[in-house]
Chain A
Amino acid sequence: MKNSQLLTKIFGSCRKPLLAISLGCVFIISNTSSAQEPVRIAFMDPLSGTFASIGNTGKTILEFAADYFYNSKGGILGGRMIEIVPLDNKQSPTETQLQFRRAISDDLHIIFQGNSSAVASTLSQTISRHNRRNPEQEVLQINYSAVDPILTEDNCSFWHFRFDAHANMKLDILTDFIAADEDIKSMYIIGQDYSFGQVVSDTTTRLLNEKRPDIEIVGNEFHPIGQVKDFTPYVTKIVSSGADAVITGNFGADMVSLARSIIDSGLDIPIYTFYAAYDGITATLGESGKDRIRLVHNGVANPLPTEARKQFNRDFKIAHPNSDVTQPRIVNALQMVVTAMEKTQSTDPYAIALALEDMRFTTMGGEEIWMRGEDHQIFQQLSVSVHTDEGVEFDADNSGFGLVTEYQVPMEETILESSCQMRRPRR
Chain B
Amino acid sequence: MLEVLIFATLNGLVTGFLLFMLASGLTLIFSMMGVLNFAHASFYMLGAYFAYSLSLYFGFWTGLIFAPIVVGVLGAMVERYGLRRVHQSGHVAELVFTFGLAFLIEESIQFFWGRDTKNYQTPELLDFPLFTLLGQEFSAYRGFMMTISIGIFIGLYYVLTKSRVGIIIQAAITHPQTVSNLGHNVPLIFMGVFGMGTALAGLAGVIAGPVLTTFPGMATVLGSIVFVIVVIGGLGSLAGAFIASLLIGLLQSYAIASDVGMPDLLNLLGVSFERGHPLNDLWTMNLPQIAPVLPYLLLVLVLIFRPTGLMGKREE
Contact between chain A and chain B defined by CB under 8 Å? yes
Bitwise, B215-232 to A at CB < 8 A (1) or not (0) is: 111100110010000000
Residue of B119, B221, B293 with highest tally of chain A CB at under 10 A: B119
* Partner of A234 from B115, B136, B256 at Cβ < 8 Å: B256
Whether A240 touches B15, Cβ cut-off 8 Å, given contacts A50-B217, A253-B217, A284-B118, is no
Residues of A within 8 A of B4 (CB): 236-237, 240
Listed A/B pairs (12) with beta-carbon separation below 8 Å: A53-B115, A224-B289, A229-B15, A229-B222, A233-B8, A236-B3, A236-B8, A239-B135, A252-B215, A257-B212, A280-B116, A284-B117
Does residue A95 face the partner (Cβ distance < 8 Å to B)? no
Which residues of B in the span 125-182 have a Cβ within 8 Å of any Cβ on A? 129, 132, 134-137, 139, 141-142
10 residue pairs, one from A and one from B, having the closest CB atoms: A280-B116, A266-B137, A233-B256, A53-B115, A280-B117, A236-B7, A239-B136, A284-B119, A257-B213, A253-B215
**Is the Cβ of B116 less than 8 Å from the Cβ of A264?**
no
A-B contact count (CB 8 A): 118
**Is the Cβ of B212 less than 8 Å from the Cβ of A230?**
yes
**Is the Cβ of B221 less than 8 Å from the Cβ of A193?**
no
Which residues of A in the span 284-299 have a Cβ within 8 Å of any Cβ on B? 284, 286
Does residue A223 face the partner (Cβ distance < 8 Å to B)? yes
Q: How far is the CA of A405 from the CA of B293 in the complex (A)?
A: 40
Which residues of B in the span 277-307 have a Cβ within 8 Å of any Cβ on A? 288-289, 292-293
Does residue B257 face the partner (Cβ distance < 8 Å to A)? yes
Residues of B within 8 A of A234 (CB): 256
Which residues of B in the span 65-122 have a Cβ within 8 Å of any Cβ on A? 110, 114-119, 121
- CB of B118, distance to nearest CB on chain A (Å): 7
* Partner of B211 from A51, A223, A264 at Cβ < 8 Å: A264
* Partner of A222 from B114, B221, B252, B289 at Cβ < 8 Å: B289
- CB of A22, distance to nearest CB on chain B (Å): 35
Residues of B within 8 A of A304 (CB): none
Does residue B27 face the partner (Cβ distance < 8 Å to A)? no
Query: In the complex, which range does the number of interface residues on chain B fall in?
Result: 35 or more
Does residue B253 face the partner (Cβ distance < 8 Å to A)? yes
Whether A280 touches B136, Cβ cut-off 8 Å, given contacts A233-B11, A240-B1, is no
Which residues of B in the span 1-20 have a Cβ within 8 Å of any Cβ on A? 1, 3-4, 7-8, 11-12, 14-15
Bitwise, A219-235 to B at CB < 8 A (1) or not (0) is: 00111101111101110
**Is the Cβ of B211 less than 8 Å from the Cβ of A260?**
yes
* Partner of A227 from B7, B136, B292 at Cβ < 8 Å: B292
Q: How far is the CA of A286 from the CA of B127 in the complex (A)?
A: 15
Which B residues are closer than 8 A to A by beta carbons? 1, 3-4, 7-8, 11-12, 14-15, 110, 114-119, 121, 129, 132, 134-137, 139, 141-142, 211-213, 215-218, 221-222, 225, 252-253, 256-257, 288-289, 292-293
Residue of A265, A279, A397 with highest tally of chain B CB at under 10 A: A265
- CB of A397, distance to nearest CB on chain B (Å): 8
Which residues of A in the span 192-249 have a Cβ within 8 Å of any Cβ on B? 193, 221-224, 226-230, 232-234, 236-237, 239-240
User: Nearest CB to that of B253 among chain A residues?
Assistant: A233
Does residue A281 face the partner (Cβ distance < 8 Å to B)? yes
**Is the Cβ of B117 less than 8 Å from the Cβ of A281?**
yes
- CB of B297, distance to nearest CB on chain A (Å): 14
**Is the Cβ of B215 less than 8 Å from the Cβ of A265?**
no
Residues of A within 8 A of B7 (CB): 232-233, 236, 239-240
Q: How far is the CA of A53 from the CA of B289 in the complex (A)?
A: 28
Q: How far is the CA of A223 from the CA of B256 in the complex (A)?
A: 9
- CB of A55, distance to nearest CB on chain B (Å): 10
- CB of A164, distance to nearest CB on chain B (Å): 22
Q: How far is the CA of A50 from the CA of B4 in the complex (A)?
A: 33
User: Nearest CB to that of B293 among chain A residues?
Assistant: A224
**Is the Cβ of B129 less than 8 Å from the Cβ of A266?**
yes
**Is the Cβ of A228 less than 8 Å from the Cβ of B129?**
no
Q: A233-B252, A253-B217 are in contact. List 14 more A-B contacts (CB 8 A).
A: A50-B115, A53-B116, A223-B289, A232-B7, A236-B3, A236-B8, A236-B136, A240-B7, A240-B136, A256-B117, A257-B212, A264-B137, A264-B211, A265-B139
* Partner of A230 from B116, B137, B211, B257 at Cβ < 8 Å: B211
Chain B contact residues: helix, strand, loop or mixed: helix
Residues of B within 8 A of A230 (CB): 11, 14-15, 211-212
User: Nearest CB to that of A282 among chain B residues?
Assistant: B119
- CB of B262, distance to nearest CB on chain A (Å): 14
* Partner of A264 from B8, B132, B139 at Cβ < 8 Å: B139
**Is the Cβ of B217 less than 8 Å from the Cβ of A286?**
no
Residues of B within 8 A of A223 (CB): 256, 288-289, 292
- CB of A260, distance to nearest CB on chain B (Å): 6
Residues of B within 8 A of A256 (CB): 117, 213, 215
**Is the Cβ of A224 less than 8 Å from the Cβ of B292?**
yes
Whether A236 touches B118, Cβ cut-off 8 Å, given contacts A222-B289, A260-B213, A265-B137, is no
Does residue A7 face the partner (Cβ distance < 8 Å to B)? no
**Is the Cβ of A236 less than 8 Å from the Cβ of B217?**
no
User: Nearest CB to that of B2 among chain A residues?
Assistant: A240
- CB of A254, distance to nearest CB on chain B (Å): 9
Q: How far is the CA of A307 from the CA of B289 in the complex (A)?
A: 48
User: Nearest CB to that of B117 among chain A residues?
Assistant: A280
Does residue A422 face the partner (Cβ distance < 8 Å to B)? no
Residues of B within 8 A of A229 (CB): 15, 212, 221-222, 225
Residues of B within 8 A of A222 (CB): 288-289
User: Nearest CB to that of A284 among chain B residues?
Assistant: B119
Residues of A within 8 A of B1 (CB): 240
- CB of B138, distance to nearest CB on chain A (Å): 8
* Partner of A280 from B119, B121, B225 at Cβ < 8 Å: B119
**Is the Cβ of B221 less than 8 Å from the Cβ of A227?**
yes
Q: How far is the CA of A377 from the CA of B1 in the complex (A)?
A: 46
* Partner of B257 from A226, A237, A261 at Cβ < 8 Å: A237
Residues of A within 8 A of B218 (CB): 253
Residues of B within 8 A of A39 (CB): none
- CB of A217, distance to nearest CB on chain B (Å): 14
Does residue A52 face the partner (Cβ distance < 8 Å to B)? yes
**Is the Cβ of A240 less than 8 Å from the Cβ of B3?**
yes
Does residue A41 face the partner (Cβ distance < 8 Å to B)? no
